[in-house]
Structure 1
Amino acid sequence: MTPITDILPAGAWTGDPADRVVLDYDGRHRRRIVLTGVSGASYLLDLAQATHLHDGDGLLLPAGGVVRVEASPEPLMEVRGETPAHLVRLAWHIGNRHLTAQIDGDRILIRRDHVIGHMLEHLGARVLEVEAPFDPEGGAYHDHAHGMHDHAQ
């Protein structure tokens, strides 16, 4: 099992990865865990503190090379408004309920929740169930629940 103690942020490394690990949102918040690459190789991620890994981050191998982190698709709801101002209002309602949310152009992605989906539809949102990688916005006060990009060295 290969130990990994360093993370390279997405965009800070180039070239082909030596391997890839595919993880959902919750699986990308880690301090110490055994990960299995798509090649079948095992890696011991051993960081100084819990860190949120993002799609495209690289896990630096001790002998050189990088294992690419890939966000796996998961069940989400795509929320769209009638106008940009309407989307902002919908975002306020989502934030007021302390839900993790990914702002993605003219849509907001949140985890599937039929009660929240119904509330948003009642507010005039177009809500569609989708399967997509989830990488929510970082929060001002919390690093895991709201996905703050914090890289341990």
Structure 2
Amino acid sequence: MMYRANGVVEAKARGDRNVVGTVALAHDERHLRRKLLILQNGARVLVDLPQPVALHAGDCLLLDNGALAEVTAAEEDLIQIRPRDRLHLVELAWHIGNRHLAAQIDEDRILILRDHVIEAMLEGLGATLAPVRTGFEPVRGAYSGKAHGHDHQHSHSHDHG
């Protein structure tokens, strides 16, 4: 079966619409405009959106027959970073953000992609680290655009002198 997707329905707006299948995508694969996806049931979806979108787990592609294909977060190899306390979490998040790394910031932990150099830095800052394999929903940057096509571009320099 081949479908064409030319729209997106946010997870909170999908209601009880028919979902014909799911596709698990890594965090960097969920930013797309045109792509051929294979659903877990083998059906193919040709994604042809008017502009790039950043999808979150649970969002759906609107198919040409009115049904939906759900996007889920594929499991990725990550590092779970546990702080000593809430202030330490903020400090660790600052260091990660200063390096422009994709990060999922939760109330009691931060998740990032595996990187031995960053892991050593975080351990040096007193964080407790553990490898995990789970879905990854990093915070979208202020300039990265919102989901569903509100993309913005920017440029800036890092003048540290």
Q: TM-score of the superposition, structure 1-length normalised?
A: 0.92
Aligned counterparts of 2:149 and 2:92: Cα–Cα separation in 1: 34
SS in 2 for 1:118: helix
Aligned pairs (5 A) from 1:3-152? 3-15=4-16, 17-143=19-145, 149-152=146-149
Shift of 1:21: 0.9
Shift of 1:129: 0.7
* 1:7–1:57 Cα contact (<8 Å) kept: yes
Shift of 1:70: 0.6
Structure 2, gaps ≥5 residues long: 151-161
* 1:77–1:111 Cα contact (<8 Å) kept: yes
Aligned counterparts of 1:140 and 1:25: Cα–Cα separation in 2: 17
Q: Which has the higher contact order (CA 8 A, sep 6+)?
A: 1
1:115–1:89 Cα change, 3 Å: same
Name the % identity.
Answer: 47
SS in 1 for 2:11: coil
Per-residue CA deviation, residues 30-86 of structure 1 (Å, 9 max, x unaligned), is 110000111101110001112111100011122122111011110011111101001
Name the amino acid aligned to 1:150. Answer: A
> How many pairs align?
148
Aligned counterparts of 1:40 and 1:139: Cα–Cα separation in 2: 33
The CA RMSD over aligned residues, in Å, is 1.4
Highest Rg: 1 or 2? 2
* 1:76–1:110 Cα contact (<8 Å) kept: yes
Name the amino acid aligned to 1:12. Answer: A
Name the amino acid aligned to 1:8. Answer: V
Shift of 1:94: 0.5
Aligned counterparts of 1:50 and 1:64: Cα–Cα separation in 2: 21
SS in 1 for 2:132: strand
SS in 2 for 1:5: strand
Task: Write out the 4+ residue segments of structure 1 that deviate beyond 2 Å after TM superposition.
Answer: none
* 2:56–2:147 Cα contact (<8 Å) kept: no
Q: TM-score of the superposition, structure 2-length normalised?
A: 0.87
* 1:6–1:152 Cα contact (<8 Å) kept: no
